[in-house]
Amino acid sequence: MAAMLQSIGVASASVTFSNHTNKLTSSSVHSLPVIRSEARTISGAINGSRKTGKVITKAVAAQAESPASAASKPGHELLLFEALREGLEEEMDRDPRVCVFGEDVGHYGGSYKVTKGLAEKYGDLRVLDTPIAENSFTGMAVGAAMTGLRPIVEGMNMGFLLLAFNQISDNCGMLHYTSGGQFTIPTVIRGPGGVGRQLGAEHSQRLESYFQSIPGIQMVACSTPYNAKGLMKAAIRSENPVVLFEHVLLYNLKERIPDEEYVLSLEEAEMVRPGEHVTILTYSRMRYHVMQAAKTLVNKGYDPEVIDIRSLKPFDLYTIGNSIKKTHRVLIVEECMRTGGIGASLTAAINENFHDYLDAQIVCLSSQDVPTPYAGTLEEWTVVQPPQIVAAVEQLCK
Amino acid sequence: MAQLTHRTSSLLKPLSFALSSTRHLSSTTPITVETSLPFTGHNIEPPSRSVETTPQELIKFFRDMALMRRMEIASDSLYKAKLIRGFCHLYDGQEAVAVGMESAITRKDCIITAYRDHCLFLGRGGTLVEAFAELMGRKEGCSKGKGGSMHFYKKEGGFYGGHGIVGAQVPLGCGLAFAQKYSKDENVTFAMYGDGAANQGQLFEALNMAALWDLPAILVCENNHYGMGTAEWRAAKSPAYYKRGDYVPGLKVDGMDAFAVKQACKFAKEHALKNGPIILEMDTYRYHGHSMSDPGSTYRTRDEISGVRQERDPVERIRKLVLAHDLATEKELKDTEKEIRKEVDDAIAKAKESPLPDPSELFTNIYVKGYGVESYGADRKELRAVLP
C-alpha cells in the first residue's frame, strides 16, 4: 500500500487522488496504517470517510494528525435513542435476516422513537407492528430465530415482558441446551425499564433481577449513547439470546460518538473513572447518580473508582477483580430492589472470588423493596440518591 | 419378477415386500380410498372423501404405524423397568395423525408439537436408536440426553420439538410460519397442540397474528378428548375446537383414519400457502393415560378404551385395507410385525449400551461457544474481550 501511495506522489492530479482515496478508505478502516507520504497527509482520509468527497479537502487541510486521535475526535453528536436506532439500522443493512417485532414499532416509529423511519425503509414485514400480545410475539420471535432469522423484540416497557416470562425463560434461554445444540436462538429482547418520572408502580419495573437466573441468556445494560450503539450491535450479532436493558430517563442523553463502525463486547465492564480509594460498581441510570456523588467526593478528598458493569449476566469479574485488588473496598449502587437483585448476586460473587482482597464489608445500595409510588417525593426516596452514595463512601473509607 | 428377490435386509423396503405379494397391482397403481367419515368444515368448503393412494403407500402406512405402536409399547415396558424416568407421554392410538400428516408434506415443511412427540420425531426422520437413547438419557440421544422425552428435536427433518409447557409451542409455530413467509420459500408449518392446550390464551393471540399477516401456519388440534384427567366437556364451554378460530376456517377430521388426515393436511397446505392460517381438529384417542404416571382409567371406563380399540384402531384400519385390496396376506403382515418387533428390540439393546453423557456436558450448549461476538473499541486497535 505504501508503494501505491508513493506512486500517487507529487505530480498526481486530484482526480486520481480521489480514486485512490476511495480504495484507501475501504481497506484502511480495517488496517489503520500510519501513512505519511511527502507533503500529503493521507491520515485525514482514514477517519470516518463515508463522505469521501469532503475528505479530500480536509485531508489536505489537516496537518500531521496521528490516525488514532483523528479517528476519535470528529464524530457526530446524537441522543441515546438515535444511537440505538443507528446501531439497529446498520445491522439491518448488514444482514437481511434482522427484523424487529414490537408494539408500535412500525408506522408509529416506536414509542421512544428507537425505530423511527425504519418501517418506511425496510417494509412492514421487517419492522413488524404486533398486536398487544407479548407472550405470543415473543414466542413467535423465538420460533423465527429457530429457523435462522434474527429478531429483535421490543417491549414497550420492560415490565410488559413479564407476560412473556415463560417464552423468555423456557424457550429463549433453554432451547439451545435442551435440543442438544441443534438450535440457536439469536434474539435480542430490549426495552426501557427502570424508575421514570412518576410513571406508577407497574411502569417502573426493573426486570434485571427477575431474569438473572435464567440459564442461557445474556443480559446487558446500556447507559451512554456510545455503549448503547455498541451493545445493540453486539447483541444483534451474538448467537445467544441477549436482553438489552435501556432506561426510560436516559433516552435523551447527548454524546459525540465516532463515525466509524464499532462493536462493543457484551461481557465487558466499562471504567468510567479510575481511582484509588474505593470501587463503585454501578449500571444504567445509577451511573449518573454515582458520577454526581463522585464530584462531591473528590471535593472532599476521596478518589473513587467508578465502573459501569454493563454486563449483568455474566459479570465481568476480571475488570471488577482488578479494581478490587487495587482499592480493597467495594460499594455497589444499583436501581434494582434490595431482595434478590443484581447487587445481591454481585455481592455474593465478589465475596466468593475476592474475599481475601477486601478490607471492609461490601456495601450495596439498592432501591427500596416497595412498589414504586406515584408521589414525586416518595418516588425519589425509593431510588438511591447522590447524598446517600457520598455518605456510604465516607462510611466505607473510615 | 427378478426385482422381487432384491431385498435389502437392513431397510426392509416395503416396495419389495409389496411387489412380492401383489397379485394384480403394481406398487404405483393408484387406488382410491374413501375416508371413514365426511369432513366437517367451518367457514370453508371441506375436501372430498375420496383419497388417492398407492399400494406402496398403503404398505408404508401399515409399517410406519406398526413401528410407532411397537416403539410406544416398548417405551411403556422400559418406563416400568425404570430405565426411562420422569415424564413419558405415549402416543399409541394417535399414530394415524403422524403418519397421515407426514405423507402429505415434505421435510422442508415444519412440524412443532408439545410433549407427546416420540412418533412425530420418528416420522420426521428420527431413528429408533436416537429416540430410545434420548429417553434413557444417553449421549447418543437426539438431544444428547439433555432434553428427555419432552424435548425431541430434529433440525434437518424440520421437526422443532418437543415442548413441555402446554400451549407455548403454538406461538413458536407461528414464528416458524413467519420465517417461512419472510424467506418466501413456499413451505408451511404445522403447529400441533391438544384439546387441553386449546384453552390457552396464547393460542388465540398467535392465531390473531397469523391471520393478520397471512402466515402459512396450520394449527392442528389433536383432540383425544381428555386434557390429562379432565374430559373436554368439563374444560371447554365449546369443544368444537375447529370452530374456535372464528374468522379462521377450520376442518374437523377423523384422526384415526390416516387417509382422512392425509387429505386434510394436503388441503390445509394448499389453503395456508394462499390464504393464511387454518385450524384442523383431529378427532383421535390415546390408549395410554396422559403419561406413564397416569393409569388412564380413573376418568374413563375400560369399556370405552377397548371399544375404541375395536372399532377405530388406526393400524387395524390399514390392515383391513391392505387385506381388502389384496396387497399382502395375513401371514405377511404378521411377519412384518415380527420384524418390527425385532428392529425395536435391537434398537433398545443398542441404546442401552450407549454411554451416559460426560459430566462436562453439563456446561456445554448453554451458550454458543465463543459468545459469537468479536469486539474492539472505536480506535479498532485492540481486541479487548478475552474472557474464558
Q: A143 and B202 in contact by Cβ < 8 A?
A: no
Instruction: Give me B385's grid cell.
Output: 474481550
Q: Which residues of A touch B192 (CB under 8 A)?
A: none
CA angle A176, A179, A185 (to 5 degrees): 30
Between CA A381 and CA A32 the distance in angstroms is 50
Q: What are phi and psi of A165, to 5 degrees?
A: -55, -40
- Residues 6 or more apart whose CB falls under 8 angstroms from that of B228 comprise B196, B290, B294
Mean pLDDT for each 10-residue chunk of chain B (388 residues)?
44 45 67 92 94 93 96 96 94 95 96 96 95 95 93 95 92 96 95 95 95 96 93 93 94 95 96 95 95 90 94 94 92 95 96 92 78 49 44
User: Can you give the pLDDT at residue B2?
Assistant: 45
Residue A382 C-alpha, separation from nearest chain B C-alpha, in angstroms? 35
CB atoms < 10 A from the CB of B142, how many?
A: 27
d(CA B367, CA A242): 11
Residue type, A89: E
* Distances, alpha carbon B308 to alpha carbons A68, B94, B258, B284, in Å: 79, 12, 16, 10
How many of the other CB atoms lie within 10 Å of CB of B54? Answer: 17
In angstroms, how far is the first alpha carbon of chain B from the final one?
65
d(CA B71, CA B347): 10
pLDDT tens digit string along A154-174?
999 999 999 999 999 999 999
The verdict on A31 touching B (C-beta cutoff 8 Å) is no
Q: What is the distance in angstroms between the Cα of B152 and the nearest Cα belonging to chain A?
A: 7
Q: What is the 3-state secondary structure (H, E, C) of chain A?
A: CHHHHHHHCCCCCHHHHHHHHHHHHHHHHHHCCCCEECCEECHHHHCCCCCHHHHHHHHHHCCCCCHHHHHHCCCEEEEHHHHHHHHHHHHHHHCCCEEEEECCCCCCCCCCCCCCCHHHHHCCCCEEECCCCHHHHHHHHHHHHHCCCEEEEECCCHHHHHHHHHHHHHHHHHHHHHCCCCCCCCCEEEEEECCCCCCCHHHCCCCHHHHCCCCCCEEEECCCHHHHHHHHHHHHHCCCCEEEEEEHHHCCCEEEECCCCCECCCCCCEEEECCCCEEEEECCCHHHHHHHHHHHHHHHCCCEEEEECCEEECCCHHHHHHHHHHHCCEEEEEEEECCCCHHHHHHHHHHHHHHHHCCCCCEEEEECCCCCCCCHHHHHHHCCCHHHHHHHHHHHCC
**Is the CB of residue A137 less than 8 Å away from at least one CB of chain B?**
yes
> For the complex shown, is ipTM > 0.95?
no
Q: Look up residue B291 and give its amino acid.
A: S
Residue of chain B whose alpha carbon sits nearest to that of A68 = B379
Of A143, A106, A144, A149, nearest in space to A124 by CA: A106
Q: Does A265 touch chain B (CB under 8 A)?
A: yes
- pTM for the whole structure: 0.83
What is the distance in angstroms between the Cα of B359 and the nearest Cα belonging to chain A? 14
Gap between the Cα atoms of B277 and A173, Å rounded: 28
Chain A, nearest residue to B217 by Cα = A140
Show residues of chain B in contact with A73, CB under 8 Å.
none
| B10 CA: distance to closest CA in chain A (Å) | 28
Distance CA A341, CA A321 (A): 20
Indicate yes or no: CB of B146 within 8 angstroms of CB of A137: no
* Nearest CB neighbour to B368, from listed A166, A234, A239: A239
CB contact under 8 A, A139 and B380: no
Q: Does A266 touch chain B (CB under 8 A)?
A: yes
Which pLDDT score, from 0 to 100, does residue B361 have? Answer: 85
Which of A140, A182, A218 is opposite residue B206, by nearest beta carbon? A140
Burial class (CB in 10 A: 0-12, 13-18, 19+), B157: buried
User: Which residues on adjacent β-strands are paired with residue A244?
Assistant: A190, A220
User: Which chain B positions have a beta carbon within 8 Å of A234's beta carbon?
Assistant: 373, 375
A131 CB neighbours in chain B (<8 A) are: 205, 208-209, 212
Report the alpha-carbon distance of residue A94 to residue B53 in Å, rounded: 48
* Low-confidence residues in chain A, pLDDT < 70: 1-73
Say if CB B135 and CB B89 are below 8 A apart: no
Please answer yes or no on whether A144 and B367 come within 8 Å at the CB atom: no
Q: Which residue has the cell 376418568?
A: B299
Among A136, A262, A314, whose Cβ lies nearest the Cβ of B209? A136
What's the pLDDT at A73? 64
Which residues pair with residue A190 across a beta bridge?
Answer: A154, A244
The per-residue pLDDT for B375 is: 52
The rounded distance, in Å, linking the Cα atoms of A376 and B225 is 55
CA–CA dist B292, B78 (Å, integer): 11
User: Residue A98 and residue A89: Cα distance in Å, rounded?
Assistant: 10
| Rounded distance between C-alpha atoms, residue B284 and residue B291, angstroms | 16
Q: For residue A129, what are the β-bridge partners?
A: A102
CA R_g for chain B: 22
Residue B89 to residues A168, B2, B66, B76, B183, Cα–Cα distance (Å): 25, 45, 18, 9, 34
CA of A135 to nearest chain B CA: how many angstroms apart? 7
Task: State whether A135 and B143 contact (CB < 8 Å).
Answer: no
Cβ contact, residue pair A170, B164, below 8 Å: yes
Cross-chain residue pair B153–A237, CB shorter than 8 Å: no
Q: Is B224 exposed, middle or buried (0-12, 13-18, 19+ CB in 10 A)?
A: buried
Decide if A237 touches B, using CB distance below 8 A.
yes
Contact criterion met (CB < 8 Å) for A182 and B143: yes
Closest Cα in chain B, distance from residue A270 (Å): 11
Burial class (CB in 10 A: 0-12, 13-18, 19+), A11: exposed
CA nearest A259 in B: which residue? B378
Residues 6+ apart with CB under 8 A from A31: none
Of B155, B174, B385, the CB nearest to A182: B155
* Cα separation of the two ends of chain A: 59
Half-sphere exposure of A107 (CA within 13 A, CB side): 3
Q: Which residues of B touch A48 (CB under 8 A)?
A: none
B42 with B353: CB under 8 angstroms? no
Give Cα A199 to chain centroid, integer Å. Answer: 24
In whole angstroms, what is the distance from residue B157 CA to residue B147 CA? Answer: 17
φ, ψ for residue A242, nearest 5 deg? -125, 135
Q: How many CA atoms lie within 13 A of A34 on its CB side?
A: 7
Cross-chain residue pair A178–B206, CB shorter than 8 Å:
no
Nearest CA in chain A to B110: A147
Distances, alpha carbon B9 to alpha carbons A261, B57, B308, in Å:
60, 20, 35
Contact A237 B174 (CB under 8 A): no
Active site residues of A: 134, 203
Instruction: Report the chain B residue with the minimal C-alpha distance to residue A318.
Output: B387
Contact A211/A174 with Cβ under 8 angstroms? no
pLDDT at B381 (0 to 100): 47
- Size of the A and B interface in Cβ pairs below 8 Å: 200
Inter-CA distances, B62 with A235, B21, B67, B259, B333, Å:
49, 15, 8, 12, 9
Q: Locate A239 and state its grid cell.
A: 448467537
Cell readout for B138 is 444417553
B-chain residue closest to A128, CA distance = B213
* Nearest-by-Cβ selection for B202 from A125, A139, A178: A139
Put simply, the answer to whether B377 touches A179 (Cβ < 8 Å) is no
A68 has a chain B CB within 8 A of its CB = yes
d(CA B359, CA A332): 35
Q: How far is B139 from chain A (nearest CA, A)?
A: 10
Q: Is A98 left (phi over 0), alpha (psi -120 to 50) or beta?
A: beta
**Binary contact (B180, A147; C-beta < 8 A):** yes
Nearest to A71 among B182, B374, B378 (CB): B378
d(CA A55, nearest CA chain B) in Å: 19
